[in-house]
A = this chain, B = another copy of it.
Amino acid sequence: MLTREENELLTRIGPGTPMGAVMRQYWQPAILSSELPERDGQPLRVRLLGEDLIAFRDSNGKVGLLGANCPHRGAPLFFARNEDCGLRCIYHGWKFDTEGRCLDMPNAPGDRDIRNKVRAKNYRCVERNGIVWTYMGPQAEPPAPPELGWSEVPAEHKVMTKQLLECNYAQALEGDLDPSHVSFLHAPLDPRGQSGYQGTAGILSEKHLSEVALEQDVKARDRSPQISVLKTDYGLFVGARRDAGDRYYWRFTQLVLPFYVYVPGAVGSPLHCNVWQPMDDEHTMVWRIQYLHERAFSADERSRLLTGMGAHIPPEGYLPPSTEPGGAWMPRANRTNDYLQDRGAQRKVSFSGIRGIWAQDRACTEGMGAIMDRTQEHLVGTDATLVQMRRLLLSAAKELKHHGAMPPGIGVVPPIMAASTVFQPKSLSWEQLAKDYMRGKAPATA
């Protein structure tokens, strides 16, 4: 339970807020490279941390991120001409490059002083492996962009999708850090059956599928996992231990600040990271990235991952693009249609009656209200991780505001998660497992 003040501190991320200042110290994933497919193509509306921005790819392929309105008279740069290495406002032809410099001011050509002084609001961008990152913070020399495992692998090694979530980032992030809800919200009624409601990872072998069934079974039998949380340089490392008879079944989850969560997939499934990027106080862009270090996905694997009901929503599940930033990423099953919940299926097949893991999570987190009221909650033992997460973020906000201290994890490269769910002998302690993991040594699969 938080006080009203703590809840405000945790959830408000607009310009001028303490948590907004924390977020701005980290690079933000702004858009997928594929959202700006061509040079001199159509600009894109983007909302990040409560700010309205316009992204564009210039004639050299470089991506820029400018304030949504022209510094001259406030006309919308979304309609601008993207030409000759700059965005040219349709109102008076002022032209800006990706750094926000004014290259041309054709209605005041003689006034070079003004042209040199005027600068479009702009944020530094770096494009790497299919993602455009931006730094919105105050440092003249920003830190290096983060190395997150998936950010280093080529775009072909990743399947990336996004969803617009109509609620604050913190409650969505909390959902990801909660290892116990998988035994309920995402559970089929018959753990051994294939309900089709949770989906599969899509690229598992026969051997893997039988292991998935085994895990499903353990999750159904032990629904109150023992949670252990380790504070790391860059966030949290979490172990959720379930009793599997003669062994323990462990699920490791990792929070990399400020909002990256490495959630365990099924044994043998691709690696998986969720990104809970705050668009504004009441909207979150959720990125889901499945990736392989060693090789690219085949076209077939990619297609199966995209059409499954698991971590990704198939492209046809999206509504047509809207004129709002992020509007193109609204799935068909959403708040306005009760996520297409099927009460019959809820009775017979699926715990939730909602199809697909994403929609199941959306129903719960959006249903808490745009900004959840944490003064009314009642936490239990399995919520330990989110308590730690709040402490980390609240402390970071206070330390930055009062002492100018940098938030944790900037410049730190977190160990790459090699395997996230394992069966281990009961004799192996959390301390030993965590130590192995932190050393970069993958816990051996039992």
Contacts and interface: CB of A to CB of B under 8 A. Distances in A.
Interface of A: 41-42, 69, 71-76, 78-79, 81, 89-93, 105-111, 114, 117-118, 171, 174, 180-181, 183-185, 223-224, 323, 335-339, 341, 343, 346, 351-354, 360, 363-364, 367-369, 372-374, 376-383
B224 A382 contact: no
A334 to B, nearest CB: 10
Given A91-B181, A184-B92, A323-B337, A367 B108 contact: no
A380 B174 contact: no
Number of copies: 3
B71 A376 contact: yes
Nearest to A106: B223
Contacts of A351: 81, 90, 93
A362 to B, nearest CB: 11
Given A76-B367, A323-B335, A368-B69, A223 B93 contact: yes
Given A79-B354, A90-B351, A338-B323, A71 B108 contact: no
Q: Is the interface of A mostly helix, strand, loop or mixed?
A: loop
Given A108-B224, A336-B323, A79 B353 contact: yes
A382 B107 contact: yes
Contact of A377 (B73, B93, B174, B184): B73
Given A73-B377, A74-B171, A90-B184, 9 more contacts: A71-B378, A72-B377, A74-B367, A91-B184, A92-B185, A106-B183, A107-B184, A107-B223, A109-B223
The 10 closest A-B pairs by CB, nearest first: A76-B367, A108-B380, A74-B368, A107-B180, A93-B184, A75-B364, A90-B352, A91-B364, A106-B223, A107-B382
